[in-house]
Amino acid sequence: MEKKKPREMTGAELLSMLKSSINLKSLGGVKCEELKLMPQDLDWWRDAKVGMFFHWGLYSILGRGEWARFNEQIPKEEYEKLAYEFNPQDFKMEELTGLAKEFGAKYMVMVTRHHDGFALWDSPGSYEDFTTFKTGAKRDFVKEYVEACRKDKMAVGVYYSPMDWRFPGYFDPEGLPENAALMKKQCYEQVEELCSKYGKIDIMWYDGGWLAHKGSDTSSAWFWEPVELNKIVRKYNKKTLLNPRSGYEGDFYCDEGSHEITGKMLPVPWEKNMCVCSGASWGWMENDPVSDFNWLIHMLVNVITRDGNFLLNVGPDKNGKLSKEVTDRMREIGAWLKKYGESVYGTRGGPMEPVDGVYGATSKDDQIFLHIIDTKEFAKLTVPFEGYTVIKCDTFDGKALSFTQNEEGIKITLPASCEEPDMIVRLTVEGKVKKRQNEEIYFTGKG
């Protein structure tokens, strides 16, 4: 039987259909059946729901964001001297992985090399040995990270940027093809190192495939040849999840930034990537304000009820340390997830569509969890509800709630007050809730 071809959809059509604020990066990537994972290969990731990202590198010394070298046009020689200041002697990777565990993350993503070209591991493929192993620290932080992740039983994700500002050929690949080829050679060798030296890599998280800061990751696929690049990944790790930012279509999509999430559930696997602080920078900035707890919980809820994952970023300083305000907030979210995790981990969005600013739902087995962020508005609504008969309705801590169900849906009488940012109501239904499956959609990237 011939495999059904995916339905093609433009990014504009997606936004129109879903009336969504979600902005998926790198639509229209190169397709390759050989690289494509089966939907069940993503089940562990979709069950995990929550991850912790961290951006750490030479830019953490300056404290002006990970783009400081380019934005300020810092001369190459001046910037590279910072490599000998990057020597966090008292840093233990277990501090970060331990925080991720307390936060409730089931996977992590470490920035192993950003656009400045500085590699945080022992990388023979690094142009001019621009690595932590050959400079001040004399350490392989990727090795330390992978070992600490596995000790804490978290899946291992590595971020890698193919582009490198040190190469003039990046800014003019056609005019300086030999120099650009050196950058591409470094990319291929370093991706192979990351996938071959540290055991199983669960997620390969690319960023920055566009050339000369123009176009998109997908418009530069002619240069990077992402199918060939990702065949290297699959050679060592056949089930590694790939994001779409190398120019290959990938296994899941990304929405980056701190903008609000609205609209319907997405029909494809996706991940929200954002910072616990203001979002002005992914890397460390002194006095960067930490986001409000209630707002972060609302963001998490708005993501998972739209069937997405939540990857929250922290930016350690040059010593690998985080402020007390950041660690306190991450632990505060972790305490919330420890209490309400049953309504998050292992769930899928739905079955009912979310209502912006009011509620959404997650489900698993015979349970539907209504996540209510505006109880006053919710009290006015009848929740559309087809296909399931509710046999029990209670608060998350087991207090029975009165309800009525008819052809229009279900009407629930909520408790008089709720101090939580997300009031969770549990509906127990006859039979099991149908597990939401991905649709076979290929986003062309056209407007």
pLDDT recorded at residue 1? 39
As a whole number, mean pLDDT of residues 254-280 equals 96
Selected residue with higher pLDDT from 427 and 9: 427
Q: Average model confidence (pLDDT) for the chain?
A: 94
What's the pLDDT tens digit per position in 344-358? 999 999 999 999 999
* Confidence tier at 135 by pLDDT (50, 70, 90): very high
Q: Tell me, yes or no, if the two domains 24-343 and 350-429 fold the same way.
A: no
Distance CA 189, CA 184 (A): 9
Beta strands in 92-152 (DSSP E): 107-113
pLDDT tens readout for residues 138-185: 999 999 999 999 999 999 999 999 999 999 999 999 999 999 999 999
CB atoms within 10 A of CB 138: 11
C-beta of residue 70 within 8 angstroms of C-beta of residue 165? yes
- Model confidence, pTM: 0.96
Query: What are the pLDDT digits (tens) for 365-414?
Result: 999 999 999 999 999 999 998 889 999 999 998 999 999 999 999 999 99
Q: Is residue 2 pLDDT above 70, yes or no?
A: no
Strands 50-54 and 309-314, sheet pairing? parallel
Query: Is the confidence at residue 79, as pLDDT, over 70?
Result: yes
What is the residue extent of each domain of the chain? 24-343, 350-429
Residue type, 39: P
pLDDT at 5: 66
* Separation of alpha carbons 205 and 319, rounded Å: 24
Q: What is the mean pLDDT of residues 438-447?
A: 72
Q: Going by CATH, does the domain composed of 350-429 fall within 3.30.750.24?
A: no
The answer, yes or no, to whether residue 447 has pLDDT greater than 60, is no
The number of C-alpha atoms within 13 Å of 154 and in the hemisphere containing its C-beta is 30
Mean per-residue pLDDT for 279-288?
95
Please give the average per-residue pLDDT across 88-116, as a whole number. Answer: 97
- Residue 117, pLDDT > 90, answer yes
CATH annotation of 24-343: 3.20.20.80
Give me the phi and psi of 169, to 5 degrees please: -65, -20
